[in-house]
Structure formats: structure tokens, C-alpha cells
Amino acid sequence: MGVTLGFGTAMLGEKAAMLCTASVEEVIDGHYKDQTYKLGKDEEELKKKIMKFRQDELDHKDIAYDNGATKKGLYGVLDKIIKTSSRIAITISEKV
């Protein structure tokens, strides 16, 4: 799914590719945040690693917006498609 989204948005142009990055990172941010809430006190080391990964994703999102990502116009529809696809991929990976 990721390859399809990445390739497809790259074919649509730089703004779409940057939006793909930003949208995916926003979904991953929420996923990582949810994961930290599920961890117990005995999993502090893992929680710290997830929080670092989450910050990396937030940095990538900021870079994408700095480089032209936008949700204006039809890009808003693309944002919803990308986020839905990303959530589906996360759900599948949790089941596997």
C-alpha cells in the first residue's frame, strides 16, 4: 500500500508527494501516541523509544509542509485517501 501511495502521489507532482508524507506521518503520530498510552511502568524503555520515533515522524511532517504539502482544494480529498489507506495498513499489521 505504501509503495502505491508513494508512487501514485509522486506521479501527481511534488505537492501531492509532500502531502503523502505529511498525511502518513500524521497517522503514524497518532498510532505512536496511542501505543505509549498502552504501555505500563515496566515498559519505560520501550516508551522512550516510541516517543523518539514519534518525534522523528513529526519532524518529517514539518519538513513536508515546509516543502509544499497542502490540503487545499482536491488535495484535501487526497489527504483523506492517504490517511484511510495508512490506517488500514496499520490495522492489518496489528493483526499479522
What are 22-38's pLDDT values in tens digits? 999 999 999 999 999 99
The mean pLDDT value for 60-71 works out to 96
| Amino acid residing at 25 | E
Q: How confident is the model at residue 46 (pLDDT cuts 50, 70, 90)?
A: very high
Query: 3-state DSSP call for residue 96?
Result: coil
pLDDT at residue 4 is higher than 90 = no
89/66 Cα distance (integer angstroms): 26
Dig out the grid coordinates for 64 from the structure.
513536508
38/57 Cα distance (integer angstroms): 19
The mean pLDDT value for 10-31 works out to 96
29/22 Cα distance (integer angstroms): 10
Per the model's pLDDT, the better-predicted residue between 96 and 88 turns out to be: 88
Residues with Cβ within 8 Å of 65's Cβ and at least 6 positions away in sequence, in order, are 18, 22
